[in-house]
Amino acid sequence: MNLEREWANLTPRDAIALQRNTATAVITEDQLPVVRTVAGVDVGFENKHTARAAVVVLDAATLEPVDHALARLPVSFPYVPGLLSFRECPVVLRALSSLSVTPDLLLCDGQGIAHPRRLGVASHLGVLTGLPSIGVAKSRLVGTHDPVPDRRGAWVPLRDGDEVIGAVLRTRQGVKPLFISPGHRLSLATALEWVMACVTRYRLPETTRWADGLASDRGQRWLDRLK
């Protein structure tokens, strides 16, 4: 799948139309395999011209890394809020294709269906790859919610009108909550279970911590830990 070529001439209007069409393929019911490996996915930008994707595969039981891949590509789509997957998916697919271990579940740094057109990067990647995916976002893109109780594992629904599009989850007492939403092939309840299963003593799940570390300017320090 060469998205760089397929999306080379997309305009924002074209991308919105494609999002709406692709969103019809998103599944928000549990269709997971036995999950033995989980992967964190994140994209950083080395400069305004170059995107760097990191995918780190962890053993689901121990949360120890078993595989990882980095990829770099020129950025061909402009920054438009709500259309970030068109900047990020091509380079993530390049990284995924370099893995030796295909993950059973993706935890993506970004939104799943908690998106105006129900197709954040986690949902878009899920449909493109066929893999179950979860959106694990640090901030809200759309929706409203009640205050989240200050205890580990507490959550409240994230709603867009009458529709529940995700959850606002407190992974640790005394820290800001995360915005969790199904990406593809799993329910909100299962998404929350897997995020908490990947959380240790930090705010972010280990999947996100590893992928964020490798995709960022701190990448070399995290790479050194994999040696």
> What tens digit of pLDDT does each residue of 116-141 get?
999 999 999 999 999 999 999 999 99
More confident position, 218 or 163: 163
Mean pLDDT (the chain) is: 93
Confidence band, pLDDT 50/70/90 cuts, at residue 48:
confident
- The pTM for the full model equals 0.94
Q: Which residues contact 176 (CB under 8 A, 6 or more apart)?
A: 138, 203
Which pLDDT score is estimated for 215? 85
- The mean per-residue pLDDT over the stretch 204-209 comes to 96
More confident position, 213 or 170: 170
Token representation of residue 37: 């490996």
- The mean per-residue pLDDT over the stretch 19-24 comes to 97
Q: Is 109 annotated as a binding residue?
A: yes
- The mean per-residue pLDDT over the stretch 84-101 comes to 96
Q: Is 99 exposed, middle or buried (0-12, 13-18, 19+ CB in 10 A)?
A: middle
Which pLDDT score is estimated for 216? 76
Confidence band, pLDDT 50/70/90 cuts, at residue 47:
confident
pLDDT tops 90 at residue 8: no
Cα–Cα distance measured from residue 81 to residue 98, given in angstroms and rounded to the nearest whole number: 29
DSSP state of 179: E
DSSP state of 68: E
Cα–Cα distance measured from residue 149 to residue 28, given in angstroms and rounded to the nearest whole number: 26
